[in-house]
Amino acid sequence: MTDRREVWITGVGLLTCLGEGLEAAWDYLDGGGPPPYDDKTFAPYVVHPLGPISFDKQIPKKGDQRQMEMWQRIGVYAAGLALQDAAIAGNAELLDRTDMIIAAVGGERDVPVDTAILAGARRATDPAAFLNERLMNDLRPTLFLAQLPNLLAGNISLVHGVVGSSRTFLGEESAGIDAVRIALARVAAGQSQMTLVGGASHGVRWDQLLNFELGGVPLKGGFAPVWDRGVDGGVALASLGAFLVLESAEHATARGARPRARLRAVRSDRNRRKQGEIEATLGRQWDAIAAYVDSRHAAVISGATGLEPATSAERRALGKFGLPVRGIGTYIGHGTEAQFSANLGIGCAALEHGKLFPPSGSGDVGESPSMLSQVILTCVGAWRGEGLALLERINQGNGS
Amino acid sequence: MTASERQRGTAATRDKFDRPVVAVTGIGVVTSLGVGKPENWSKLTGGVSGIRAISRFPTNNLKSTIAGTVDEIYRDYMSPAQLSERLASLAGEEAIAQSGIGGKGYFPGPLCLAPPPLEVEWPARFVMAEMAAANGDAEYPDLLRIARQYGAEFGAFRFDILGERLSEHFGTQGSPISLNTACASGATAIQLGVEAIRRGECEVALAIGADGSVTPESLVRFSLLSALSTQNDPPQQASKPFSKNRDGFVIAEGAAALVLESLEHARSRGARVLGIVEGCGEKSDSFHRTRSSPDGKPIIACMRNALKDAGVDPEDVDYINAHGTSTPENDKMEHLGVAAVFGERASAIPISSNKSMIGHTLTAAGAVEAAFTLLTLEHQRIPPTINYSIPDPAIPLDVVPNVARDARVHRAISNSFGFGGQNVCLVLTQEPA
């Protein structure tokens, strides 16, 4: 398409167990320290909690903080970092026409209320009437707003003033991939000049573990890098928030914005996960971009979850790309809807530093290219959804 | 093909901004009034209410005990995921059959779906607690102990399960999109399909809004926000948009599906064109989580954005399908917005609320009401706002009170405003000559 606009990432906001902000995450990864995880609090589950966060920095009103549950606070915080990074925070004129596509889950429960109802209903003469009575009396009116998936976007509008438009995608990793794919397509086609895209996940909680445990997803037992968890392995759920500002190169140049990277392509697919289908899908996605890739200066940052058989299937597919590979999930855990955006954020840092972070685990293969200029980001969902993106370094000066 | 060649060759199939015109070639709808277009349309224009007392679970201790449930397809216990899937399937099948596109298990475009947010429901939680601690109280770690073993029995807990299952059922292409913009979700699903066709990514798209989530907890949640009508008796008179004595919305179930198709593609295969999605507008609100900005700016901007996207003026609009929830707040703000956008014509242009009869179908509402707006264009007949016996003097609008009206309607807008300040407006027209 000749009338396609070039799209840049001009802002990254990242909140992970590696710290606050993209630079903190990169410094930790580059330092090669041990992955930070917690296998005690929710034993036998292994999770990646955030360190202490001062939410006041991005959500100054305590009243706003009270109206959100943790997944929303994490998301609003990370979105604020991205807007700051793009130098548009507080710019009412620009935020008025900034669009949003957010991948979210919602549904955070009041665990003590649920637990009390489960106990009380056993003793109630009329359990259904008891349930109604307890829900009417015990649920906080504001909890519903913290459960609604679209209220992460709503809170970002309220706290940061992003009001161009707002759409929330549902559906685990695919939602995160499609959010970025459609944000890119809209900016490239001129349907949007600037879009805030991303998501947040608070996996470090009992109710969320239950949702995933019903599907046999979470990692139990000992920690290992995503590639080395074996057939009984799983996903180490994370609390993380990740947002990107996508912007047409023309718009960014006109306002003097500094680009972090060029987002060249995003592919998104689904298959039924029969044997060989993940490999076939990733193979097709790679074929669609391979002609643009200079393999001397390119590498893969994988969002592999650690769950089998998907992780091994992805590893086989990546083997055919013939590029160095790093798995980011070993370090930041798995943020489900937010994972793809987080991976893209890390990809921006790798391009800016011109190198990969050190390997960890048997699937992290190959040496970092001497001058990394292209990164392929993958995201293979625990159950469904395969995505791939091509991110490129922008040489400052000529904008090419 | 250059732009000028394109204009000469297929002028009628591209809009004034040189984008592909997006037609609707199939419509399906299920509400508390019935399954399918004929029954829905005859009852909707007959002023029939689908609101009734809830019978599917005990309503003791609840403040609102009525809903627009779709009882005729409800069997035994169906979780919101199961019921929503059934509603979406029925609507989608009707739309695809009318469109005549694709084949059994094959639809040549993407799925854009507006499902209700899914979660583990109380019946499943109780069963898990029983299994986990037959002789004692169960806490979350106990539920977790047995969850993996019985996971399949508890069914849908993944947010993407409906998109996945419907995409298998219809054979849609690519990754199915599930989205949520609260009460505007159904309209956003249509907008996503329209945009994909305009970008040239596909020739057809299937947009579905479906919501079958009437449960005790969903009633409690909206009750605690004081959003629901508590005038339970008689149920049929509870939803009264734009009336002085309106006191909240009535929760409801339903689904609608549209087959969206580039006009060029529709004409090339000789498909009947049911209408055109001429424009889509959005605007978010940063005022409050559940209330609109008192100056109405976001609602006004949303309608204006839609008209601008369609390339038309307020004078070109013949009918407004209102969001019209029957809450004191929404109807007041919608009037404020309409008055600002339509100026002196505001009190003359017919505006009616389907929700007076079918209640608020939540994530389905934007799609259901777009479907009814398209039927309004097709039949040149405007469904009424029923239960309009005590007009609100602060809302001087022609709400098409109580009785349907024949009218010339070439172009209409359909409003959807959601919690979280997410507003969408669609511009729908008859097929261009």
Predicted confidence pLDDT, tens digits, chain A (400 residues): 346 899 999 999 999 999 999 999 999 999 999 999 999 999 999 999 999 999 999 999 999 999 999 999 999 999 999 999 999 999 999 999 999 999 998 778 999 999 999 999 999 999 999 999 999 999 998 899 988 999 999 999 999 999 999 999 999 999 999 999 999 999 999 999 999 999 999 999 999 999 999 999 999 989 999 999 999 999 999 999 999 999 999 999 999 999 999 999 999 999 999 999 999 999 999 999 999 999 999 999 999 999 999 999 999 999 999 999 999 999 999 999 999 999 999 999 999 999 999 999 999 999 999 999 999 999 999 999 999 999 999 986 544 4
Q: Per the CB < 8 Å rule, is A141 touching B143?
A: no
pLDDT at B4 over 60: no
For residue B320, the distance in angstroms to the closest alpha carbon of chain A comes to 22
Query: What secondary structure letter does DSSP report for B176?
Result: P
B6: three-class secondary structure by DSSP? helix
Chain A closest-CA separation from residue B237 CA (Å)? 24
CATH number of A7-107+148-392: 3.40.47.10
Pick the CATH number of B11-118+158-429 from 1.10.260.40, 3.40.1390.30, 3.90.180.10, 3.40.47.10: 3.40.47.10
pLDDT of B259 higher than 80: yes
Residue ranges, CATH 3.40.47.10, chain B: 11-118+158-429
Contact yes or no for A149 and B139 at CB 8 A: no
At residue B266 the predicted structure's pLDDT band, cuts being 50, 70 and 90, is: very high
Q: B157, A214: Cβ pair inside 8 Å?
A: yes
Distance (Å) from the alpha carbon of A107 to chain B's nearest alpha carbon: 7
Q: CB B216 to CB A141 under 8 A? A: no
> Could you say which of B280, B323, B335, B425 is catalytic?
B323
Show the tokens assigned to A326.
């790093």
pLDDT tens digits for B222-231? 999 999 999 9
Cα separation, A200 vs A282, in Å, equals: 25
pTM over 0.95: yes
Domain definitions of chain A by residue range: 7-107+148-392
pLDDT for position B290: 86
Question: What is the per-residue pLDDT across B37-75, written as a single tens digit (0 to 9) for each?
Answer: 999 999 999 999 999 999 999 999 999 999 999 999 998
Assess whether pLDDT exceeds 50 at residue B7.
no
In this prediction, residue B8 has a pLDDT band, given cuts at 50, 70 and 90, of: very low
pLDDT one-digit tens code per residue, B92-145: 999 999 999 999 999 999 999 999 998 899 999 999 999 998 778 999 999 999
Q: Which residue of A has its CA nearest to B192?
A: A182
Amino acid at B308: K
DSSP string, A198-217: EEEEE--SHHHHHHHHTTT-
Of all residues in chain B, the percent with pLDDT exceeding 90 is 88
- Known catalytic membership, residue B379: no
- Does the beta-carbon distance from B58 to A119 stay under 8 Å? no
Note the pLDDT of residue B157: 66
Q: Is B183 a catalytic residue?
A: yes
Q: Identify which of A150, A383, A384 has the shortest CB distance to residue B420.
A: A150
Residue of A83, A132, A191 to mutate for B, most B C-beta atoms under 10 A: A132
Task: Kindly list the residues from chain B whose CB atom is less than 8 angstroms away from the CB atom of residue A162.
Answer: 284, 286
Return d(Cα B405, Cα B384) in angstroms, integer: 7
DSSP state, A349? H
Taking 80 as the threshold, does the pLDDT of residue B5 lie above it? no
Smallest CA–CA distance from A151 into chain B, residue: B420
Indicate the pLDDT class of residue B2, thresholds 50, 70 and 90. very low
* Candidate from A141, A169, A269 with C-beta closest to B177: A169
**Average per-residue pLDDT in chain B?**
94
* Burial call A307-320: b when 16+ CB within 10 Å, e when fewer: beebbbbbbebbee
Interface of B with A in 198-227 (CB under 8 A): 198-201, 216-217, 220-225
In the three-class reduction of DSSP (H, G, I as helix; E, B as strand; rest coil), residue A297 is classed as helix
Q: pLDDT at position B155, please?
A: 61
- How close A111 comes to chain B (CA, Å)? 8
Q: Ramachandran region of residue A384, left (φ > 0), alpha (ψ -120 to 50) or beta?
A: beta
Rounded to the nearest angstrom, the minimum Cα separation between A325 and chain B is 25
- B288 catalytic per annotation: no
Q: Is the pLDDT at B390 greater than 80, yes or no?
A: yes
Nearest CA in chain A to B168: A272
